[in-house]
Amino acid sequence: MTCVDKLPEVMETPTEQQLELRSEGHAEGFFTAALQLRGQNLLVDTAVTLGQKDYKAHNILLAAVSSVFLQRLERGVQEGMNLDGVTTPSGWEAILNFAYTGELEPTPIVAGDILDAAEALGVPRVAEICKAVLIGTENEDRLSPVEEKWKTLQRLEELYNEGIGWDTELKAEGDTFRGIGYVLV
C-alpha cells in the first residue's frame, strides 16, 4: 500500500509552495470509524430528540455540514436539541446519514421533507441536491458520496484550524497538543 494513492497537487503562492498528499482510502476509513463509534455510543457528545427517539451523534461532524450545529458548537451549547416541529424523522435521518456517509438519494416523494430539514438546519449541500430532485433536473456535476466525504473532511480541517470543537489536550515532552478527541481516535 502506498502513502499516496493520488498524485500530489502543487499549490504555489509568491511566498510558499505546498504539496497536498491524499490517500483516497482516508475518507472511507475515517467515516467508517465514525459510524462505528456512533453505533457503539462512544465519544458521542450530542443528542437530538425527534418524536420518541433520541439520536446520538458527534457534534463536530454535524457542525461540519450544518450551520445550526456549528453555531451551537461555537456557543458551547451542551444540552441536546429537540427537532419536534422543525423536521420529520425522514428529513433528519437523511441529514444525519449524509453527515456520516456522504450518501443522499432523495426520491421526489421525500425530497420535500429532506429539503425542509436541510433549510431549517443550514445544510446547503443537502438542500441543493433536494432542489435538483424536486425540479426534475439531473445534476451532472453532483458529487459522489466519496467526494462529499472529502468535502466534510475539508470542513473538519477548517474547523480545527479555527480552533472550533477542540475538546482534548495531549501533553508530551513539555508540548501541549489540542485537538478533537473523537477525530484523534
Reported as a single tens digit per residue, the pLDDT across 174-183 is 876 665 655 5
pLDDT at 184 over 70: no
Q: What is the pLDDT of residues 46-85, one digit of tens each?
A: 999 999 999 999 999 999 999 999 999 999 888 899 999 9
State the pLDDT at residue 174: 80
* 107 alpha-carbon distance from chain centroid: 22
Q: Model's pTM, two decimal places?
A: 0.81
Output the CA–CA distances (angstroms, integers) from residue 176 to 156, 158, 171, in the order listed: 21, 20, 4
3-state SS class at 32: helix
Between these two residues, 173 and 157, which has the higher pLDDT value? 157
Q: What is the mean pLDDT of the chain?
A: 85
Q: What is the rounded CA–CA span in Å between residue 79 and residue 67?
A: 17
Q: Which of 171, 179, 145, 118 is nearest to 28 (CA)?
A: 145
pLDDT of residue 69: 96
What is the pLDDT at residue 2?
Answer: 36
Work out the average pLDDT over 101-123.
96
Mean pLDDT of 135-159: 89
CA distance 109 to 175: 54
| Residues 182/43, Cβ–Cβ less than 8 Å | yes
